[in-house]
Amino acid sequence: MIRSATVNDIPELRAMIRELAAYERAVEQARATEEQLREALFGEHPAAFALIAQDTGGAVGYALWFPRFSTWTGTRGMHLEDLYVRPQARGAGHGKALLAALAATCRRSGYDRFEWWVLAWNTPAIDVYESLGVELLDEWKVCRLSGAPLGELAAQTTAVVNPASEA
């Protein structure tokens, strides 16, 4: 079964986020607290949305996504931040069911694109995605600015025009 996450899912969701981070060999980077997740998913202005995959034993996976905008198409789209299925539940169709539910959300919302990243070494996931007809965009590189370099660049600003419009 696939369902929308509720505020009661926060502890389990955080646990699965840490499991995903461990699988991706970056557990030290998974620092989000339950309170941060609660605010991001269920606060006054949600930043993201989550679905839970569950079986008779409880939550076995999740998908966390947020809307994005394409200047090229002039339309909104969906960015899938996380897709995770616990090891003992893999191969039972939970990941595909989460992706199908997200694709349906895209269609209902009028979104033209559904995009996400996958680690180059994660061949089991890549194989599943390719079986669904996903187009892998090898020519693009992910750019990330954080920590001290983010602060250093931010310090170079001379003025912010219309700061009230920033969200």
Q: How far is CA 19 from the centre of its chain?
A: 14
Q: To 5 degrees, how large is the angle CA 102–CA 80–CA 10? A: 85
Give me the catalytic one of 62, 84, 111, 129: 129
In this structure, are residues 45 and 66 in contact, taking their beta carbons and an 8 Å threshold? no
Our answer to whether residue 23 is catalytic in this structure is no
Q: Tokens 């983010």 belong to which residue?
A: 150
Q: Which helix (DSSP H) or strand (DSSP E) does residue 75 occupy?
A: strand 75-85
In this structure, are residues 70 and 46 in contact, taking their beta carbons and an 8 Å threshold? no
Residues assigned a catalytic role: 129
